[in-house]
Amino acid sequence: MPDMSLPVPAPGLSPCCAYAEPTLPRRARAAEPRGHLALTAENGGRTPWCGPAAVALATGRGYHEASELLRCSAPGWYPGQGPIVTAYWRDLLAALRHAGVEHEVLDPAPDLPRQSLLRFVRGKLAPGWYLLRVTDHFLLLHHEGFGLATVHDNRHSRALLGARTHGRRKVTHVARLLGGPLAGPLGGPLDGQPSHQPFSAKAR
């Protein structure tokens, strides 16, 4: 009899990423996000780095497992052991793909200046969850509608977006989360809504 305790590799994934979650109906996967204190505890009481923390929150994985997802996505860029201090946007997106988290990548229109995070949220942004790179930082943003948004990252859990919670930083990269543990009824609408008019969808 096969050992059912071992993970079944997901189709098309390399062995190091074989722990990707099985595909489930989107709305069955919605869950409350984990907090930064849980990630800090997993990191031995030390503040986690923002790249792996963002991956952990977006995928529902542990902090160290999120770090392994990044290493698996770009083994030549990260040390085999130890903390991942500097992560790259392309590798965060690859980690989402390895974890089976559907997403839509959005890029600022080239003819528009970079916006602050506060201005970005106050624009025509659809409710939902977003993975963002702002100036020198990665975070998750939950837009709850009517300009109300909360920040989730390596130092904040459901913190109201404001000047002291990265609101003045410039938005450089955006991906809307359409799957994973945060999408669905608790993560906001999934289908039939444009994400943001001044941003254009880009192939993943």
Statement: residue 199 has pLDDT above 90? no
CA distances in angstroms from 130 to 21, 123, 127, 144, 150, listed in the order given: 20, 14, 9, 11, 11
Q: Helical H runs in 77-165?
A: 89-98, 117-122
- The whole-number pLDDT of residue 81 equals 87
Closest by CA to 59, choosing from 20, 23, 91, is: 20
Tokens representing 145 are 């509608």
- Cα gap 160→154, rounded to integer Å: 15
Our measurement of the distance from residue 86's CA atom to the centroid of its chain's CA atoms, rounded to an integer in Å, reads 16
Q: Are 88 and 79 in contact (CB under 8 A)?
A: no
Q: Which of the four pLDDT bands, split at 50, 70 and 90, describes residue 110?
A: low
Query: What is the reported pLDDT for 200?
Result: 37
Q: Please report, for residues 88, 106, 179, 185, the alpha-carbon distance to residue 25 in angstroms, rounded to integers and kept in the order given.
A: 30, 24, 9, 12
Q: Is the pLDDT of residue 53 over 50?
A: yes
pTM: 0.76
Residues 6+ apart with CB under 8 A from 59: 21, 66, 69, 95, 96, 99, 101, 180, 181
Percent of residues, the chain, with pLDDT higher than 70: 71
The span from the CA of 75 to the CA of 89, in Å, is: 15
pLDDT of residue 15: 42
What digits encode the pLDDT tens for the residues 140-165?
999 998 889 999 999 999 999 999 99
Burial (CB < 10 A; 0-12, 13-18, 19+), residue 62, is middle
Whether 112 shows a pLDDT value over 60: the answer reads yes
Backbone angles phi, psi at 72, to 5 degrees: -65, -35
pLDDT score at 76: 87
Distance of CA 41 to the CA centre of its chain: 20
Question: How many residues make up the chain in this entry?
Answer: 204
C-alpha–C-alpha distance, residues 90 and 153, integer Å: 18
